[in-house]
Chains A and B, each alone.
Chain A
Amino acid sequence: EAGVTQFPSHSVIEKGQTVTLRCDPISGHDNLYWYRRVMGKEIKFLLHFVKESKQDESGMPNNRFLAERTGGTYSTLKVQPAELEDSGVYFCASSRNTYGYTFGSGTRLTVV
């Protein structure tokens, strides 16, 4: 089966601009997650979708971050406006159930 696909793989934007990251989960996986790793820190949970519904968004840092999953398929994570501290690697993962996480390759976001 195809894995979790994320794009772009890299994005460099200026502070104040908007960036949208996309994640295509494995077909049939109802659960979709966003995580991120900022420089020098551990990977941290952002949010969890079950189909198109946000199940848990306790990790979203602030209201500059907006995640959507229209139709319960692919998901987007928009950062608007981007700040320097948003730089890092954003990972998406999907699973059919609790214990079957598959991660994507990540999007490396650099805000300058």
Chain B
Amino acid sequence: SQELEQSPQSLIVQEGKNLTINCTSSKTLYGLYWYKQKYGEGLIFLMMLQKGGEEKSHEKITAKLDEKKQQSSLHITASQPSHAGIYLCGADMRGAGSYQLTFGKGTKLSVIP
């Protein structure tokens, strides 16, 4: 079974609509990263969350980490075609300063103009 479950696997939304992507684990997430990937490009860092209950926003994207540090959500408000791509969550699941990240399979987002 996967250590980090992402849902949904894919998402098609109309431009201007809001959407949420989830990342869930049965284990503690000591550091949770959100990345975006476009075809042929590297993983673009979006946000990193560490503390339970933490919430960060950048432009129209908000990421949250729940109090138990086992679930994170990424919310996009008023989606635009530029938001299309694959969103990946990655986490430090070992703690103690581990550098190794575990990733979810990703969520493919398409935004229809």
Contact = CB atoms under 8 A, between A and B. Distances in A.
Interface stretch (A13-21, A40-48, A63-71, A79-87): A40-48
Contact of A91 (B42, B50, B106): B42
Interface residues of B, number: 26
A48 B105 contact: no
Contacts of A45: 100-102
A3 interface: yes
Contacts of A41: 105
A56 B13 CA distance: 41
| Residue among B50, B99, B106 with most chain A CB within 10 A | B99
Contact of B48 (A42, A48, A99): A99
B88 A43 contact: yes
Interface of B: 2, 4, 31, 33, 35, 40-45, 48, 50, 88, 90, 92, 97-106
